[in-house]
Chain A
């Protein structure tokens, strides 16, 4: 699909009109939504819970219907390393770094194992 680069401005316009603006409109809207909300509002606990659940959902999506190289692994090879990482997190003084190192080691090992 290299023809997209043969049209000068077109890739930039495509990025701005079909990528940037449809996405940014929500951030702009949120600035106005946030206006009436105070930092101590009980609503904020709910909004934060929705945001947290959404993020967890992004993780679930990435692991359940993966793209690219992640898709070469079976389900256990994607969910298992997440569990390994979180065990390391709790075992090693609630360290995010430990979770990443252990999880990454597990998934790379799973990658070679599953080949």
Chain B
């Protein structure tokens, strides 16, 4: 199967589902790294700049700020953590809030891991892969991973993730030093990077009505849960209600198509 490009040729992809598509593991690792550098790494790095500034405001050192990026690997949880420490929130409440905000990783990990693993994948490898999954890596992974042959997926994913970790670590440190220097409209622009990037990426990822409706309903329900759902649980309530709504709409459409 030389000749045709294994990344773009769907016929070969289907046939090559159990192999590396003619490339080495290292080549897939590098391909993941290259694709991350071509865009996603920059966006996730920019979105983490503000975390560095928050960490400084909360009285932490730059090393702890960078460690928070590598360990938590969740922009919103980091914002919560440093914001809550700065507001002198009690530690058990901080831990609980962080934990509630990270419940959102459950559907992300559960939907991405089955694409990544093979029968031989070890538990430590799976745990490491799960740690790498955050919103950006998930959203990009759902689109890119299916195009990679089965045995190239984990190397590709780790290459992609590693570049994102490196980029965000640098930007967290940079944000620690820089954020106070920016004029407010540009600081607002930095914080706006996450919303516009997520919505554009999710729109591009949406292949079926269920994905589009999950996005639309999620945005539409947000003001309601923000106003009425208990703090900390609002995202879970939103995800489950909008996700179920989208699933019901898809079922309705499938039923009509079948009838």
Count of interface residues, chain B, beta-carbon cutoff 8 Å: 106
**Residue B253, interface by CB 8 Å:** no
Cβ of A91 under 8 Å from chain B? no
Our pick among B74, B88, B113, B192 for the contact of A107 (Cβ within 8 Å) is B192
* Given A54-B238, A108-B185: A33 and B196 interface contact (C-beta under 8 Å): no
* Distance of A70 Cα from B50 Cα, bound (Å): 11
Chain B interface main SS type: helix
Q: Is the CB of B68 within 8 A of A15?
A: yes
Interface residues on A, range: 35 or more
Q: B239 contacts A54, CB within 8 Å?
A: yes
Q: Which residue of A lies closest to B114 (CB)?
A: A39
Q: List chain B residues, Cβ under 8 A from A62.
A: 191, 194-195
List of A residues within 8 angstroms of B123 by Cβ: 31
Q: Give residues in A with beta carbon < 8 Å to B.
A: 1-5, 11-12, 14-31, 33-34, 37-39, 41, 44-70, 72-73, 78, 81-82, 85-86, 89, 94, 96-97, 99-100, 103-104, 107-112, 115
9-residue interface stretch from B6-14, B24-32, B154-162, B240-248:
B240-248
A72, B60: Cα distance in complex, Å: 25
CA–CA, A3 to B59, complex, Å?
7
**B102 with A70: CB separation less than 8 A:** no
Can you list 20 A-B pairs with a CB-CB distance of less than 8 A? Answer: A19-B94, A24-B102, A26-B106, A30-B109, A30-B110, A34-B109, A48-B210, A49-B250, A52-B214, A53-B217, A53-B221, A54-B236, A55-B104, A56-B219, A57-B242, A65-B226, A108-B185, A108-B186, A109-B185, A111-B188
